[in-house]
Amino acid sequence: MAYETILVETRGRVGLITLNRPKALNALNSKVLEEVVAAAEAFDENAKVGAIVITGSEKAFAAGADIKEMQPKTYIEAYMEDFFADWERLTRIRKPVIAAVAGYALGGGCELAMMCDFILAADNAKFGQPEITLGVMPGMGGSQRLTRFVGKSKAMEMCLTGRMMDALEAERSGLVSRVVPAGELIEEALKVAGKIAEFSLPAVMMVKETVNRSYEMTLAEGLRFERRVFHSMFALADQKEGMAAFTEKRSAQFRNR
Ligand code: HXC
């Protein structure tokens, strides 16, 4: 498929999606939504891909939803088309999705990064929910996911003031897993994704599903869910291989089943 707003490639077993609207700082319009979701779903179905990386440019991961596209929208249009609800399809991707964020991740850009399974940040990354400065509020999960990541006080301050958080504050607050020098971001993201993609794919997918359940369940239910999934892993050929390889002091050759 030919894409207009993103670049799509595979590097080994990693699917790489690069937002590519440099003149608009990768602002997220309807086309970007359609294309990112389609590319991610195609990678999810591609047996040769084990993990996905979403990134932008060194200046901007994405500076938010496209304000120029949104400006003339009426309430009835936004409601009837369920404006931007389709971004939720990204959260139904079953393989790991890593956001590699450099530069601005604002509004919908920050929300897109938070839809991914974890965020690797460049040291120049800036995160924020500036919607209040436009007379609106987060609409792609910012009020909910940011609060779960960084806690109520910081999320409330960021959503109410539009203040940006730099990479170190984002790491300290639990928004990002790690900060790396901007020039090494893509290489590091591909390395991490490549490592994940070498493991047993069913095991990786079960880990993702189970960690994500912790946002939806009580602790007791989550622990039971974890244990049941763990039990089911003894049906995997890859469990037999992984444990045999350990005892035989060799590296495992996972067959993804
Ligand atoms: C449309 C955008 C844009 C955006 C930047 N541009 N952000 N276009 N939507 N979100 C465009 C600018 O209009 C400009 O185009 C070009 O990109 C370069 O931007 P500059 O502002 O000239 O760059 P700079 O001075 O470096 O400032 C960078 C910036 C600023 C601080 C990131 O661009 C900015 O504040 N952008 C808006 C950030 C924002 O408010 N995001 C939240 C959007 S609401 P021209 O043609 O003039 O050169 C949102 C809601 C999500 O995300 C919920 C949806 C359901």
Dihedral of alpha carbons 251, 43, 171, 178, sign: positive
Question: What pLDDT score was predicted for residue 223?
Answer: 98
63, 65, 100, 121: the catalytic one is 65
Q: Answer whether 130 contacts ligand 1 (Cβ < 6 A).
A: yes
Question: Ligand 1 centroid vs 121 CA: distance in angstroms?
Answer: 20
Q: How many Å lie between the centroid of ligand 1 and the Cα of residue 24?
A: 7
- Enter the tokens of residue 130: 């500036």
Known catalytic residue at 131: yes
Q: What is the pLDDT of residue 224?
A: 98
Instruction: Give me 135's structure tokens.
Output: 């007379």
Q: Whose CA is nearest to atom 1 of ligand 1?
A: 66
Contact 201, 193 (CB under 8 A): no
In short, whether 64's Cβ falls inside 6 Å of ligand 1 is yes
Instruction: Give strand pairing partners of 119.
Output: 99
Q: Output DSSP code: residue 143.
A: I
Cβ of 142 below 6 Å from ligand 1: no
**Are 178 and 171 within 8 A, CB to CB?**
yes
CB 133 within 8 A of CB 162: yes
Q: Is 108 assigned a catalytic role?
A: yes
For residue 83, give the ligand 1 atom closest to its CA: 55
Of the candidates 163, 21, 38, the one whose C-alpha atom is nearest the C-alpha of residue 90 is 38
Residue nearest to atom 25 of ligand 1 (CA): 25
Place of tokens 């979403």: 54
174-201 tens-digit pLDDT: 999 999 999 999 999 999 999 999 999 9
Mean pLDDT by 10 residues, the chain (257 residues): 95 98 98 98 97 98 98 98 96 98 98 98 98 98 98 98 98 98 98 98 98 96 98 98 98 93
151 is a catalytic site residue? no
Closest-CA residue to 99 (of 79, 75, 77, 125): 125
User: How far, in Å, from the CA of 251 to the mean position of ligand 1?
Assistant: 48
> What pLDDT, on a 0 to 100 scale, did the predictor assign at position 1?
78
Task: Give CA–CA dist 170/74, Å, rounded.
Answer: 34
For 143-181, the three-class secondary structure string (H helix, E strand, C coil) is: HHHHHHHHCHHHHHHHHHHCCCEEHHHHHHCCCCCEEEC
| Residue among 23, 59, 67, 137 to mutate when testing ligand 1 (max atoms within 8 A of CB) | 67
Distance between the two ends of the chain, CA-based, in angstroms?
Answer: 29
pLDDT of residue 98: 98
Catalytic residue among 24, 107, 111, 155: 111
Residue for token pair 């490592």: 195
Residue written as token pair 């007379």: 135
ipTM (interface predicted TM):
0.98
pLDDT, position 257: 86
d(CA 174, CA 6): 28
- Taken as a whole, the chain contains a residue count of 257
Q: Which residue in 128, 88, 121, 122 sits closest to 105, CA to CA?
A: 128
In this structure, what are the phi and psi dihedrals at residue 210, rounded to the nearest 5 degrees?
A: -75, -45
Closest CA to 188 of 125, 246, 127: 125
